[in-house]
Structure 1
Amino acid sequence: MGHREDLLEGAKKCLVEKGFVRTTARDIVNASGANLASIGYHYGSKDALLTQAFTALAEEWGDSFVPDVAGEGGSLERFRSVWEGVIDRQEESAPMWAASMEVALNRDRMPQLRELLAASAGEGRKGLIAAFTGIPEEELDERDIRTIGAVYQALVTGVMALWMFNPEGAATAEELTEGMRRVAEALAKNKDEDPA
């Protein structure tokens, strides 16, 4: 591996161990074996590097369970299967979610980092749509990303936050699937009754 890759791996390690706020450029250098100047040369800034590291962790997290997803795209079986993958990997993905919450809670102190992460949100939404629906990412348009992707992103973020705060009381894949089934039935019923 070269310095660029070493820095990325070091930054991922620091994110998991220390989070965004407490990670310094020197921490990354120590974890990667690279030199301090290489952060600016390869990534522009420590925050840009940490954002890349966060994105890489999120992609690795998604890649870790998507191949095991069962069921036809858009089905309740697939919905449950995705949630089983998310929840089964909750413990290993908790540091990534904690880092995400850290940025959200410190948004005024970390505006550049927040902007960088917000810019990568569309890619995350595409990945979630593909996981839940089976639609290839390259077939998704902006409306899909801003609507369907937003719903899945809100669900995943909310569930992971609940798991971080109260793992014993957080919903299971079965409960989430049953809840979604009931919501969908209520929406369909109300749509049929709505003359508009």
Structure 2
Amino acid sequence: MGHKEDLLQGAKKCLVEKGFVRTTARDIVNASGANLASIGYHYGSKDALLTQAFVELVQDWGDTFPADPPGEPGSLERFRGVWEGVLAGREAAQPIWGATLEVILQPDRVPELRAMLAASQGEGRRGLVSMLTGTPEEDLSERDVRTLGAFYQALLNGLMIQWMFDPESAATAEELTEGMRRAAEAVLRPTGQEFTR
């Protein structure tokens, strides 16, 4: 590997170990074996390098999702299978979610990353809808992405924050699936019919 790739690998390591805010240029240099001037030469700035490293970490995590989850598309079995896959990779994803929360809570710290994350929301939503419904991404409408995709993304964000905050009380895939079934039944029950358990 050359200096550019070494720096990227070092930045990934630092993001996982220290997050955005605490990572210094010297940390990246120490982790990569490259020199300080090479950060500016290859990436322009430390924040630009960390942004690129973050993007690659997210892509690496996305690649761990099952290409064809179990169950019929749109079924509760598929729903549960997807969330089991998400939770199976939660340890590897924790640094990514930690870094994401840093960016959300400190909007002025890394504005280019915040802008990139905001722009990529549609892509993430599209992927979630496709995975859960079995619909090819190119066949999804903008409304599919803005409604169903936003709903699934809210579930993903909330579930990962639960696991980061308190793994002992966080929902399992089975509990999330049962919650989804019960919520759907409650919403779809005829008017006047009592909620059942």
TM range (shorter): 0.7 to 0.9
Aligned to 2:149: 149
* Residue 57 in structure 1 maps to residue 62 in structure 2: no
Query: With structure 2 as the length reference, what TM-score do the two structures score?
Result: 0.84
* Residue 131 in structure 1 maps to residue 136 in structure 2: no
Q: Report the Cα distance in structure 1 between the residues aligned to 2:187 and 2:99, rounded to whole angstroms.
A: 35
Aligned to 1:69: 69
Q: Report the Cα distance in structure 1 between the residues aligned to 2:128 and 2:4, rounded to whole angstroms.
A: 28
Q: Report the Cα distance in structure 2 between the residues aligned to 1:187 and 1:5, rounded to whole angstroms.
A: 51
Q: What is the root-mean-square deviation in Å for CA atoms of aligned residues?
A: 2.4
Rg: which structure is higher? 2
Report the CA distance between 1:61 and its aligned residue: 1.6
Aligned to 2:159: 159
1:122-158 Cα distance to aligned partner (Å, 9 max, x none): 2222322222222233333433332222111111111
1:24–1:124 Cα change, 3 Å: farther
Which runs of 5 or more structure 2 residues have no equivalent in the other structure? none
Aligned to 2:177: 177
Q: Report the Cα distance in structure 1 between the residues aligned to 2:136 and 2:116, rounded to whole angstroms.
A: 25
SS in 1 for 2:114: helix
Pairwise mapping of residues 1-196 of structure 1 onto structure 2 (< 5 A)?
1-67=1-67, 69-189=69-189
Amino acid paired to 1:25: A
Q: Report the Cα distance in structure 2 between the residues aligned to 1:38 and 1:66, rounded to whole angstroms.
A: 37
1:111–1:174 Cα change, 3 Å: same
Q: Report the Cα distance in structure 1 between the residues aligned to 2:37 and 2:145, rounded to whole angstroms.
A: 37
Which runs of 5 or more structure 1 residues have no equivalent in the other structure? none
Q: Is the 8 A contact 1:129 1:152 kept in 2?
A: yes
Q: Is the 8 A contact 1:62 1:127 kept in 2?
A: no
Amino acid paired to 1:18: K
Identity of aligned residues (%): 70
Q: Is the 8 A contact 2:68 2:131 kept in 1?
A: no
Q: Is the 8 A contact 1:51 1:117 kept in 2?
A: no
Q: Kindly tell me the number of residue pairs found equivalent between the two proteins.
A: 193
SS in 1 for 2:104: helix
1:141–1:13 Cα change, 3 Å: farther
Report the CA distance between 1:12 and its aligned residue: 1.4
Deviates more, 1:133-142 or 1:159-168: 133-142
Q: Report the Cα distance in structure 2 between the residues aligned to 1:37 and 1:120, rounded to whole angstroms.
A: 30
Q: Is the 8 A contact 1:76 1:181 kept in 2?
A: yes
SS in 2 for 1:69: coil
